[in-house]
Amino acid sequence: MLINCHSDPPKKESTSKPKPIDRFPLNDDRRTRSLKYFGSDPSTGLVTEMLSADKNIAAKNVSMMKSVKLDQFDQISERMKNSLTKVLELDFLSWIQENSIPPIKSGRHTLIKSPSGTGKTLSYAIPIVDILYQGPQQITRSDGIHVLIIVPTKELAKQTCTVFSQVLKNFNWIQIGAVYGEDKRKSEKSRLRKGINILVCTPGRIHDHLLNTYSLKLNNLKILVIDEADMLLDLGYENKIHQIISELRQRCEILDFKKVQTILLSATLDQRVSKLSFGLLANPVFVDASPSEKVALAHELLSCNSQLSQTVVVVPTKWRFVALIWFLHKILSQDKISKVILFVANIYSVKFFTSALREMFDCYHKFFNKLKVEFFELHGSMEIKERMKIFSGFSQTVTGLLVTTDVAARGLDFKNVSWVVQYDPARCPVDYVHRVGRTARAGKEGSSALFLSPHEVGYLEILIESGMKVEQQYDLPQLSSGWLKQKFGQDSKLKKHAIEDEGSSVHNTLKTLVEGSPDLMHLASKCFTACVKSYASYPKNLKKFFNPRVLHIGHLANSLGLEQAPKNISRTLKDGAAAQILDRKRKMSSRNAPISMNIGKKIVNKVKATPRAISTSEYTSKLMNGPTTKKSKF
């Protein structure tokens, strides 16, 4: 495989501390040939043509909020209306809520398809609580589980439990609970033994309790909810779902399982979800919040909320980080109360960008109007308690930046997110929709930005054909305008190469930070290697836009503040890993080294005894080499 690996020659590692931003001169003569990218970009015309082209596609963004006034909706009880008005401060129901509540309350099996951020959880929480409230008898703890809700992740389980707790404020005799692996099984069994009427759970945990917890009362089970069905299938839970259904049928012998009402919700409806719904739902009511017009494409027409404004940022690979700094300055300086979610491709990118952006914001604090921006990072390798802490902290902060992988792309409902920035593009249009669904929720306005290199702009056509409506485009000169005006004043005349000089200055600041910090240098190197691997793992249908042969990995390394050639970066990481292994071996050998002991006048070297175990394997016990005598210690 041919990969362009050209890069600037490596410099000696600097141990000096990062300099303040004022010491970086405006007129820096260290311009490189790649500064030509600050000028006109041939890809700009192509992007403009894509955005203005008429694809004969119907309206992409669907208005689904404020469909009907709550006081005019007669399908729910007055007690429920009062609870929604006082506790949740709801005056309107969304389209999906208005159309989902009647079939659920009538006891019909229901299949709901709706984009993220349209109030799907309330669309089944409201009628379920109302059904339990209006039942023939008031339910009690001893009744056991009436409603079982299966969700794909622990974060979504906690979030769903929170929504139900708010709805249940005026129905305090109905008990809500969750089992998703945060606590030990013993404490979960104790809660189940006391009695839970609405149980929210993850697939693995509920399957474990179905097999091992005899105090799990299911004789009164009335409703089964499977939320985010497409995500459950993406995470490989299809077999687990079928096992859970099989166990439920066995545990509900007294009650005919066919009488249990099933509600299935999904943001997308592909062949796998259709197959799952066909096996679970008998003659269901289908509630579809997506556009009714169809497009003759190989993939499904997707939709986002009408309150969402979508933007594309086209910049060369080498200046991607500089463009990110200028873009964050542009959006954070407009509004003092702003939350941003930054999506990247892998865990090492999360760690590097969180650290690097924090350092860059400290250097350029004057440019960000001395905003106290809190930084958060979230990825799949974090412990559940730490992830919950991050989720809670980012939800409560006023101005924050969350750097995350796709672990936060689905199901999580962060409050008041103004912008979603996709630094690394999503791997398919469906993932794109889930990412941008973290903003413009519950009728509020929101914005999204997608970063692309010039050779990746063809990806836009896939998004547009899939139903996305990209409205605006930025390039480096446009992003730098606000930054330069703040630095030199509104009326000052800028020099010919002001953009190039300032871009180089920002880039050199990053290089100084990386070179001056061994930890940041290590994170940048790890981030580089992980990004190269992530870029090579795009699906086949997107390879023509995200081709590893076209990606200039030397510029990619340089954009992260690394001066070394790509092959030297990999070699340095390997040498560091080898040094750690050698150090570990030295420590192990020192433990087994002889110990000198004085016995009278003699010095005896006593070797530390290491316990051995007899192995019956023909490979480890050398049975193939003939009999050997070996002492064993038990």
Q: Is the pTM of this model over 0.75?
A: no
Find the helix or strand (DSSP H, E) in which 429 lies. Answer: helix 429-436
Summarised one tens digit per residue, pLDDT across range 490-549 is 766 677 688 889 999 999 999 999 999 999 999 999 999 999 999 999 988 899 999 999
Give the CA distances from residue 200 to residues 114, 147, 413, in Å, rounded to whole numbers and listed in that order.
21, 8, 16
pLDDT band for position 298 (cuts 50, 70, 90): very low
Find the helix or strand (DSSP H, E) in which 323 lies. Answer: helix 320-332
Least confident of 37-51, 470-484, 535-549: 37-51
pLDDT at residue 321 above 90?
yes
Q: DSSP H helical segments within 343-417, as ranges?
A: 347-363, 384-396
pLDDT score, position 630 = 53
Find the helix or strand (DSSP H, E) in which 45 lies. Answer: helix 42-52
Could you tell me which of 118, 152, 157 has the C-alpha nearest to residue 388?
157
Summarised one tens digit per residue, pLDDT across range 394-414 is 999 989 999 999 989 887 888
Which residue(s) pair with 286 in the sheet? 111
Residue 328 in tokens: 């964050």
Rounded CA-CA distance 547/412 in Å is 32
pLDDT score, position 440 = 86
Calculate mean pLDDT across residues 180-185. 83
Rounded CA-CA distance 200/189 in Å is 14
At residue 409, what is the residue type?
A
pLDDT band for position 32 (cuts 50, 70, 90): very low
Report the first-to-last Cα separation within the chain, whole angstroms: 53
Order of strands across the sheet with 285-288? 176-179, 198-201, 147-150, 223-226, 261-266, 110-113, 285-288
Domain span(s) for CATH 3.40.50.300 in the chain: 68-288, 308-517
pLDDT score, position 605 = 55
pLDDT score, position 493 = 67
Pairing between β-strand 602-606 and β-strand 68-69 as defined by DSSP bridges: unpaired
pLDDT band for position 29 (cuts 50, 70, 90): very low
pLDDT at residue 62 above 90?
no
pLDDT score, position 295 = 29
Residue of 527 and 607 predicted with greater confidence: 527
Share of the chain above pLDDT 90, in %: 45
pLDDT at residue 197 above 90?
yes
Residue of 118 and 517 predicted with greater confidence: 517
pLDDT score, position 614 = 46
CATH architecture of the domain covering 308-517: 3-Layer(aba) Sandwich (3.40)
pLDDT score, position 585 = 53
User: Residue 268 in contact with residue 303, Cβ under 8 Å?
Assistant: no
Give the range with max mean pLDDT: 210-214, 294-298, 456-460, 462-466.
456-460
Residue 520 in tokens: 């940041």
User: Sign of the CA dihedral 341, 178, 87, 106?
Assistant: positive
User: Residue 113 in contact with residue 268, Cβ under 8 Å?
Assistant: yes
pLDDT at residue 59 above 50?
no
Which residue(s) pair with 225 in the sheet? 149, 263
Find the helix or strand (DSSP H, E) in which 421 lies. Answer: strand 419-422
Least confident of 227-236, 347-356, 611-620: 611-620
Which residue(s) pair with 148 in the sheet? 199, 224
Give the CA distances from residue 403 to residues 82, 336, 409, in Å, rounded to whole numbers and listed in that order.
39, 19, 12
pLDDT at residue 255 above 90?
no
pLDDT score, position 48 = 59
Least confident of 34-48, 262-276, 530-544, 574-588: 34-48
In CATH terms, the fold of domain 68-288 is: Rossmann fold (3.40.50)
Summarised one tens digit per residue, pLDDT across range 264-274 is 999 888 888 88
pLDDT at residue 339 above 60?
yes
Distance of CA 394 to the CA centre of its chain: 13
pLDDT score, position 242 = 92
Summarised one tens digit per residue, pLDDT across range 587-600 is 666 655 555 555 45
Least confident of 311-315, 549-553, 572-576: 572-576
What does the mean pLDDT of the chain come to? 80
pLDDT at residue 123 above 60?
yes
Calculate mean pLDDT across residues 208-230. 91
Could you tell me which of 428, 424, 374, 430 has the C-alpha nearest to residue 404?
424
DSSP label of 94: -
Residue of 481 and 451 predicted with greater confidence: 451
pLDDT band for position 570 (cuts 50, 70, 90): confident
Calculate mean pLDDT across residues 134-159. 92
Calculate mean pLDDT across residues 452-466. 92
pLDDT score, position 270 = 81
pLDDT score, position 155 = 86
